[in-house]
Amino acid sequence: MIQELNRIQQEVLQSVGNKFDKDLRHDKTKELRIKLKNAYIIDPYSIDEYIARDGYKALHKVLFSMTPDDVIEEVKKSGLKGRSGGGFPTGMKWSFVKKSDKQHYIIMNADEGESAATIDGVLMRQDPHCAIEGMIIAGFATGATIGYVYIRYEYPEAQRAMEHAIEQAIAKNLLGKNIMGSGVDFDIIMYRGAGAYICGEETSIISSIEGLRGNSKNKPPFPAIEGLFNKPTIINNVETLGIVPQILLNGGEWFASMGVPGSEGTKVFTLTGQLKEPKTVEVPLGTTIRELIELGGGMREGRQFKAFVTGSPNITMLGPNDIDMPIQFDTFKKRQVMVGSGGTVFLDDSTCLMHFMHFNVDLLAIESCGRCTPCRAGTRKMTQFFEKIIEGEATMDDLQKMKDLAEHMRDASLCGLGVAMGMTMYSALYSFEDEFVEHIRDKHCRCGKCFNEVAA
Amino acid sequence: MKISMTINGNVVEAEQGQTVLDVLQVQQVDVPTLCYLKDLNDIAACRMCVAEVNGSRLQTTCTLEAADGMVVNTETERVNNSRKQTLELLASYHSFDCWTCPREKNCDLFDQMRLYNVDDVFKHSFELEGKELKLNESSSITLDSSKCVHCSSCIAVCDQIAGVGVLEYMERGYDSVISPVFGKGSLDEVNCIGCGLCTKVCPTAAIVERDHIKRVEAALDDPNTFVVAQIDPAVRAAIGEEFGYDIGTPVETYEGQIFGALQLMGFDDITTTNLAQDFAVVESAHELLHELAQPEDQNRFPLFSSCSAGWIRYAEQNHPEMLSHISTAKAPHMMQGSFVKNFIAHDVYGVDATKLFVVTISPCTAHKTEADRDDMVNDGLKNVDAVITTRELARMIQYARIDIDDVTPVTIESPLDHSANALAIPTVNGGLMEQILRTAQRQTGETPTQEIVYEPLQADSILFKATVMIQGQEVLVASAQGGKGMQDMMDYLAIQESNKAQGLPYEQFHYVEFMGCPGGCINGGGQPILREEYKSGLDVTTLRRRSLEQSIHYDNQYVPSNELVQFYKTKVKEVASPTAKRYLHTTYLDKSVINR
């Protein structure tokens, strides 16, 4: 089988000429593209071109020369952490699955609900096979034989690319029964969500695939013990699974050599907001915010950098004083900022933070599943507080109530959607408390956006 | 296996596999819960049962499995603050019209708010701004989303005990509302059987029975209307609980006062449904004997009971092909209403039947739907004009500003109250069927079987069967209770039917009794609310049965009462006569369109 892969690789490399060397989007001096190494270079509808870029070689290596424990060990060695927000070590997560006779599942979280993120979308549209290969490897490592791709409703193009890629992989016996003659089975089922933000949360995905209302479930039991249809289930997002083949092919040390200790490897970011050139880039972890701004072409003409926001609508932020802070899990955690799924928003000084936060918190209130009290009612109360601030009716007492409410939501919410509110408020107040106070006490908005209704 | 835990500083022993909440309850540590129902609803939604476990983020004890060496703290400032804040949030969008609320005295939210001294933090949003309110009335159940705490208890019992699953949330987040499934406008448009289980598990008044109090009050206020109250025995077993008597208190302790209160409120006659139960038993026994006499290929076995209104709704909506098997005898209280209005209004009460207003006081919420059925009308007169539940009766007494302790006890004297048959048993599961079987035995000149022994249909089944000899013939009977039980029974019967068709061994049932509520009428959907029943598994049925068993003595001879004989002789002519068929029997309709 490996001869077959090599043959295809040689054929394609001869026929495409220097196509693979042309990549206009990739600035090699600033970016380090390993997850996006195929994106915008290969034809996503051609499995041969993927194979030509060393595709499915990792799968072959895993199936014929490694045990599941070896795979988990290698991933642990790489230091890979979940790229969808939580930042949980992937190898550790896989090792939680107890091998048993039960059916096990892998779910690929392709419900990229964050409005500022298009990482998974780009990967699936441009390089669908890397995620598929990663899923099969994850399945081999955890004993799962069925994988679900939970793809978001708004990604029809990515879904087409994925479906086409699955068909091609099955035709080449890289997926399905007895893969490459190794005796390992793995099937992939595409499952399209219905457009709810909460269905990017892992337990909500499980509810959704089970045919229930997309509500989150209480943890523990964690999905690795009791997940989809009450069977052990591993849920990883596209970016995490997409890098797994290269980790296995090049070794955990190779991946760990990038980035900084504790935050190994690279991260794909979608740079959006008030930048000159919003785009999707891949940089090693440890890159500073200032460097990201440069990648995005700098802030708009005549404007100053104000805030670096990760996530949306579940936001955390850093202020102008943090512009040289490296993006690392540990430093961010100290300031209660999520590295997040990679969707980022850059704000300049023309944006009123109260308006920005009101927009995002309101979106959260709409997208909360409504199951647990702190999140269901808390998000809406928070929206109302921001409305009061914008209309100039809030008091300093309300600010205290907002802090208390955010802490309560962090402490008592059922899933991450509500828990994150604590971090949102903490990080916002850490950098921008003066702006809150200006609004509430002095009824002054430095951007001139608020209190309009009062004036009229 | 035993494990050891530290709870609020005390080292305690617990069983492996218990949840932390179980352990806390065993240790009698007070933990507030809103959404938790034992083995039914452990969705950890309300976040009231949180505790500090091993010093981590707060954990919900209802879902957390106890582990050896666990350190649980339930009374720290952090925990109490969190509970308080949760209640503040719940309070921020609850409509507090407590003085008119049906759950005024029995509201978990209210109790806990008082316990945690909840401040009015979000005062500005008490007007429920931005929240769409839906008041959803159906013939049995009323949903009021402005009182909902989103605990999902109703959804859990409707799905798992009632087995019909007609409740679900619609919309998302703050706007989510309990609603009939598929966004239908009313529970009458979905497969609701009206059992009222949801009203018993709701911690607030978001789900209550459809109000008939106003109908009754209007009739009482009208001097030209003669209002008759007919009380179901199951009501008598439980009404004391609404007035502070312990569950299981003998009925004679408080019954006289209840009758007295009804008199004070202006009811013109107070009676029980005892006579009607005799009517129902005699008519049904005749039906059974009639079928037993038929040749094997012409009988309509298995015969199904018809006394549970929830079951009738279930059958009409789900098994239209089986409607011919249901006994045509009306439910006892409908028979009595029909009989009173059409035969004895003038003789007994001296009023015209059109002036008569019959109120059933019932343990059942499905009776409300039954009373409003188009076919429960004879000669232009509704058989029963209003149905109030045990809870509504207690509320009416309260509205009338009657202190039950000050009421002089009254014994009722009504020709309709006399009964030869055991008035207690029909209210418990298997009761009415037993009477029917014994009456059939007596009618054929045999000695009634004193004790009928039930055995589970299958291992671990909630269904039971028994065998009784009538005229040398083995009569196989079965009993099913609760919506889930009815479903299982119908599935079981379908298997027997297909076995029969294939020539495989099968069981031929002759009579199957269906009860819409688990535990029978005595645990009906309109009975006083004891959420412990589902929170900790309190056996309400057995306790309530005790209150009747201690007071009412009966033999199992089933000699008809003089009144019954007289009424048959003078009014109905004979059992199953055309007159009886017209006034005491009914027909059923295919309503399966609801499920399509």
Rounded Cα distance between B475 and B107, Å, is: 47
pLDDT digits (tens, 9 = 90+) for A64-80: 999 999 999 999 999 99
Can you give the pLDDT at residue B558? 67
Mean pLDDT, rounded, for B113-139: 73
- Structure tokens belonging to residue B47: 């976040």
pLDDT digits (tens, 9 = 90+) for B205-257: 999 999 999 999 999 999 999 999 999 888 988 999 999 999 988 888 898 99
Rounded Cα distance between A199 and A408, Å, is: 23
Q: Using a pLDDT cut of 70, give the percent of chain B over it.
A: 94
Query: Residue A150 pLDDT more than 80?
Result: yes
Cβ proximity of A335 and A310 under 8 Å: no
Q: Are residues B48 and B99 in the same domain?
A: no
Q: Are residues B28 and B104 in the same domain?
A: no
Chain B residues touching residue A379 (CB < 8 angstroms): 173-174
Q: What is the CATH number of the domain that holds B171?
A: 3.30.70.20
Sheet of B135-137, strands arranged across? B135-137, B141-144, B207-209
B42 to chain A: closest CA residue: A218
B49 to chain A: closest CA residue: A412
CB atoms within 10 A of CB A2: 12
pLDDT digits (tens, 9 = 90+) for B421-449: 545 454 556 578 888 888 888 888 888 88
Residue type, B95: S
Q: Are residues B126 and B205 in the same domain?
A: yes
Cβ distance of B86 and A369 shorter than 8 Å: no
Residue B125, chain A, CB below 8 Å: the answer is: yes
Query: Residue A21 pLDDT more than 80?
Result: no
Query: Residue B569 pLDDT more than 50?
Result: yes
- Structure tokens belonging to residue A200: 């990017």
Q: Are residues B96 and B204 in the same domain?
A: yes
Q: Are residues B51 and B156 in the same domain?
A: no
Rounded Cα distance between B581 and A316, Å, is: 75
Mean pLDDT, rounded, for A209-238: 89
In a domain, B438, yes or no: no
In a domain, B34, yes or no: yes
Cβ proximity of B526 and B389 under 8 Å: yes
Residue A423, chain B, CB below 8 Å: the answer is: no
Rounded Cα distance between B555 and B450, Å, is: 9
Rounded Cα distance between B140 and B270, Å, is: 24
Interface probe for B, chosen from A198, A218, A385, A407 (most Cβ of B below 10 Å), is: A218
Residues 6+ apart with CB under 8 A from B536: B25, B38
**DSSP codes joined into one string, B221-247:** H-TT-EEEEEE-HHHHHHHHHHTTPPT
Pairing of strands B511-515, B473-481: parallel
Residue B49, chain A, CB below 8 Å: the answer is: no
Residue type, B400: A
Instruction: Give chain B's mean pLDDT.
Output: 88
Distance from CA of A323 to the nearest CA of B (A): 31
Query: Residue A318 pLDDT more than 70?
Result: yes
Q: What is the CATH number of the domain that holds B14?
A: 3.10.20.740
Q: Which residue ranges form the domains of chain A, and what is each CATH number? A: 2-17+33-256 (3.40.50.11540), 260-348 (3.10.20.600), 353-453 (1.20.1440.230)
* Number of domains comprising chain B: 2
Can you give the pLDDT at residue A2? 83
Residue type, A241: L
Q: Are residues B66 and B154 in the same domain?
A: no
Supply the DSSP symbol for B346.
I
Which ipTM value was assigned to this complex?
Answer: 0.87
In a domain, B43, yes or no: yes
Residue type, B308: S
User: Among the three residues B75, B101, B133, which one is the final residue of a domain in this structure?
Assistant: B75
Rounded Cα distance between B26 and B2, Å, is: 14
Q: Are residues B66 and B99 in the same domain?
A: no
User: For chain B, how are helix, strand and coil distributed in percent, rounded to 5?
Assistant: 40, 15, 40
Residues 6+ apart with CB under 8 A from B578: none
User: Among the three residues B75, B110, B128, which one is the final residue of a domain in this structure?
Assistant: B75
Pairing of strands B71-73, B2-7: parallel
Comparing CB atoms, the residue among A198, A218, A376 nearest residue B150 is: A376
Residue type, A23: D
Rounded Cα distance between B423 and B435, Å, is: 10
Query: Residue B347 pLDDT more than 60?
Result: yes
Q: Are residues B146 and B191 in the same domain?
A: yes
Q: Residue B594 half-sphere exposure, CB side, CA atoms within 13 Å?
A: 26
Find residue B172's DSSP bridge partners: none
Q: Are residues B97 and B23 in the same domain?
A: no
Surface-to-core class of residue B42, CB atoms within 10 Å of its CB (0-12 exposed, 13-18 middle, 19+ buried): middle
Q: Tell me which of A248-262, B157-171, B448-462, B487-501 is least confident.
A: B448-462
Cβ distance of A196 and B50 shorter than 8 Å: no
Chain B residues touching residue A405 (CB < 8 angstroms): 85
Can you give the pLDDT at residue B127? 53
pLDDT digits (tens, 9 = 90+) for A188-223: 999 999 888 888 888 999 999 999 888 888 887 889
User: Among the three residues B184, B209, B234, which one is the final residue of a domain in this structure?
Assistant: B209
In a domain, B152, yes or no: yes
**DSSP codes joined into one string, B153-195:** HHHHHHHHTS----EEEES-GGG-EEEEGGG-S-GGGTT----
In a domain, B321, yes or no: no
User: What's the count of helices (H) and strands (E) in chain B, helices before strands?
Assistant: 19, 21
Q: Residue A305: what are its φ and ψ, rounded to 5°?
A: -65, 135
In a domain, B241, yes or no: no
pLDDT band at A454 (very low <50, low <70, confident <90, very high): very low
- Structure tokens belonging to residue A153: 């409703």
- Structure tokens belonging to residue B407: 């009421």
In a domain, B204, yes or no: yes
Supply the DSSP symbol for A298.
-
- Structure tokens belonging to residue B409: 């006890």
Q: Are residues B104 and B129 in the same domain?
A: yes
Rounded Cα distance between B434 and B448, Å, is: 10
Angle at A417 between CA A413 and CA A418, to 5 degrees: 35
For residue A273, give Cα distances in angstroms to A64, A317, A346, B367.
Answer: 47, 13, 5, 62
Chain A residues touching residue B81 (CB < 8 angstroms): 408
Distance from CA of B126 to the nearest CA of A (A): 11
Comparing CB atoms, the residue among B89, B121, B175 nearest residue A374 is: B89
* Among candidate residues A95, A189, A178, the one with its CA nearest the CA of residue A142: A95
Q: Are residues B200 and B99 in the same domain?
A: yes
Domain span holding position B38: 2-75
* Among candidate residues B488, B571, B544, the one with its CA nearest the CA of residue B248: B544
Show which of residues 275-304 on chain B sit within 8 Å of chain A, judged by CB atoms: none
Mean pLDDT, rounded, for A315-329: 92
In a domain, B195, yes or no: yes
